């Protein structure tokens, strides 16, 4: 059995550390100077309205520039950097370029002649993956000769880990992303994620673990300075290693288990050769789930506050990015609205598959999917629908007020600014350096 090389390198020095990780993983000699190479960083969400914590959420600009330099050293001139970040407004096509400007990618354009594109503003090609699974992938990605995949080392509240394979979800259209979050228990998110790399040209993955994220993938996770890089020509091999570094056996990550079944590959590391650091020397357990009560009816911190008369059920795999993006602001507003008096048996349903529980007096249906699922449901005493995809913040506020929960409109309607408040966690901590997200 041939074994795939995976490198693990401690990040110590700009350019040299990335070069070492790439070389230990077999290098980029398979690329030709004439190749068109597409670099896919991880920029989960962006807003121009506030400064956001980037550590453990967004690929460092340091790693992006170092990878561009390596490609240029090989004589490769056709380099495109592209991402399909989520913005507060799904129709917003300009904020992506604000991200590129802020992260220094425009300097890379001038210095190295790379091209930067917004995947969501470019053409898509529908691909039949088999088994009734069809997704629309970025045409730019599919028509490239090679992909450089630059995920961040993070756990994920829905998929356990988010590494090389999961990072490719940013190459599909918004409707396709929503399709991945469906109500079919057999065709769930894990099954779709496991197929994301199927139509891709050759992928070289370098996991940026300079900063890592516990309870990711976004800003409400707990960031760590981990100083690790992992690389491989085999996206599955590096994801298996990355999962173990985060404290999870590959068989405990559903989409990796499904990938192994689809490709008939070993789920353990019997087909992997690790070079550089040993896995056991760099393993650092990162929790992936947010804490909830035993019955899943309320986030643990809210239960600890003594909140009563409200059930805000634990998210499931069917909740897509846009509804999950507003959830943090809504929960913050609820917590701040609590004055010690029980609310009137209110429940909040999210995603695409939740059902009402018996005895609840008011049921907030958050989002278009819940509104459609439970239209005229006789099991709901008083339905309070919040339609829209994503739901309108003003409508969300009105719904909670109707339910007797006086959330502060400023928190929900300015949800884009919530990541900025989280910056306070990292203030005056020298290990969290903005310089990693700048190009000098």
Query: Is there a single domain that holds both residue 250 and residue 347?
Result: no
Lookup result for tokens 């529980």: 357
- Report the alpha-carbon distance of residue 113 to residue 119 in Å, rounded: 19
Is 109 a member of any domain? yes
Q: Is residue 433 part of a domain?
A: no
Give the separation between CA 232 and CA 163, rounded to whole angstroms: 12
> CA dihedral in degrees (16, 151, 210, 93; nearest 10)?
100
Is the confidence at residue 40, as pLDDT, over 80?
yes
56 and 28 in a common domain: yes
* Cis previous bond, 382, omega within 30: no
Residue 365 sits in the same domain as residue 323: yes
Q: Using alpha carbons, select from 35, 38, 4, 6 the residue that is nearest to residue 21.
A: 6
| pLDDT tens digits, 153-202 | 999 999 999 999 999 999 999 999 999 999 999 999 999 999 999 999 99
- Quote the mean pLDDT of the chain: 96
pLDDT tens digit string along 350-402?
Answer: 999 999 999 999 999 999 999 999 999 999 999 999 999 989 999 999 999 99
420: confidence class by pLDDT, cuts 50, 70, 90:
confident
Note whether residue 430 is domain-resident.
no
Answer yes or no: are the C-beta atoms of 65 and 104 closer than 8 Å. yes
Name the phi and psi angles at 153, rounded to 5.
-75, 105
Task: Give the pLDDT mean for 208-224.
Answer: 96
Range of the domain at 372: 300-407
How many other CB atoms are found less than 10 A from the CB of residue 245?
27
pLDDT of residue 86: 86
Tokens for 421, please give them. Answer: 């408040």
Q: How far apart are CA 18 and CA 176, in angstroms?
A: 33
Regarding whether 284 and 307 lie in a shared domain, the answer is no
Q: What is the pLDDT of residue 2?
A: 85
Domain shared by 256 and 307, yes or no: no
The predicted pLDDT at position 232 comes to: 98
Task: Kindly state the tokens that stand for 235.
Answer: 């996206």
Q: What is the CATH number of the domain that holds 28?
A: 3.40.50.11440
Q: Single out the residue of 84, 181, 179, 73 nearest to residue 135, CA to CA.
A: 179
- Residue 22: pLDDT band (50, 70, 90) is very high
d(Cα 168, Cα 180) in Å, to the nearest integer?
A: 13
Residue 151 in any domain: the answer is yes
Claim to verify: residue 113 and residue 171 sit in the same structural domain: yes
By DSSP bridging, strand 222-232 and strand 4-10 are: antiparallel
| Global pTM value | 0.96
Q: Structural domain tally of the chain?
A: 2
96-110 pLDDT, tens per residue?
Answer: 999 999 999 999 999
State the DSSP code for 405: -
């Amino acid at each position: 059995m041939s074994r795939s090389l995976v490198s693990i390198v401690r990040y110590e020095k700009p350019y040299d550390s990335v070069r070492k990780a790439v070389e230990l993983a077999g290098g980029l000699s398979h690329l030709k100077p004439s190749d068109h190479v597409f670099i896919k960083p991880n920029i989960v969400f962006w807003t121009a309205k506030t400064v956001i914590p980037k550590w453990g959420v967004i690929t460092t600009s340091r790693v992006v520039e170092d990878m561009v330099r390596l490609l240029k050293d090989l004589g490769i001139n056709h380099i495109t950097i592209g991402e399909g970040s989520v913005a507060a407004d799904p129709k917003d096509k300009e904020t992506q370029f604000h991200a590129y400007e802020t992260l220094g990618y425009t300097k890379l354009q001038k210095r190295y002649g790379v091209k930067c594109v917004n995947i969501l503003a470019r053409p898509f090609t529908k691909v039949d993956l088999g088994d009734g699974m069809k997704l629309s992938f970025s045409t730019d990605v599919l028509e490239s000769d090679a992909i450089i995949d630059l995920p961040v080392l993070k756990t994920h509240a829905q998929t356990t880990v988010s590494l090389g394979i999961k990072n490719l979800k940013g190459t599909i259209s918004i409707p396709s992303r929503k399709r991945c979050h469906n109500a079919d228990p057999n065709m769930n998110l894990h099954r779709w994620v496991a197929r994301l790399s199927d139509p891709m040209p050759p992928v070289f993955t370098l996991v940026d673990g300079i900063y890592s994220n516990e309870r990711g993938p976004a800003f409400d996770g707990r960031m760590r300075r981990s100083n690790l890089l992992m690389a491989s020509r085999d996206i599955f091999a590096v994801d298996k290693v990355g999962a173990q570094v985060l404290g999870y056996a590959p068989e405990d990550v559903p989409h990796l288990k499904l990938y192994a079944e689809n490709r008939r590959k070993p789920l353990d590391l019997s087909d992997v050769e690790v070079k550089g650091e040993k896995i056991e020397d760099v393993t650092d357990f990162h929790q992936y789930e947010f804490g909830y009560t035993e019955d899943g009816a309320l986030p643990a911190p809210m239960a600890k506050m003594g909140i009563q008369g409200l059930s805000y059920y634990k998210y499931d795999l069917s909740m897509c990015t846009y509804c999950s993006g507003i959830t943090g602001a809504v929960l913050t507003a609820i917590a701040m609205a609590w004055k010690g008096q029980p609310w009137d048996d209110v429940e909040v349903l999210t995603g695409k598959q939740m059902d009402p529980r018996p005895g609840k007096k008011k049921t907030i249906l958050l989002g278009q999917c819940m509104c459609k699922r439970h239209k005229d449901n006789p099991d709901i005493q008083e339905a309070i629908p919040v339609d829209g995809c994503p739901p309108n913040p003003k409508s969300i506020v009105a719904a909670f007020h109707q339910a007797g929960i006086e959330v502060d409109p400023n928190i929900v309607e300015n949800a884009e600014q919530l990541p900025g408040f989280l910056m306070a966690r990292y203030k005056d901590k020298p290990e969290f350096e903005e310089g990693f997200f700048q190009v000098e």
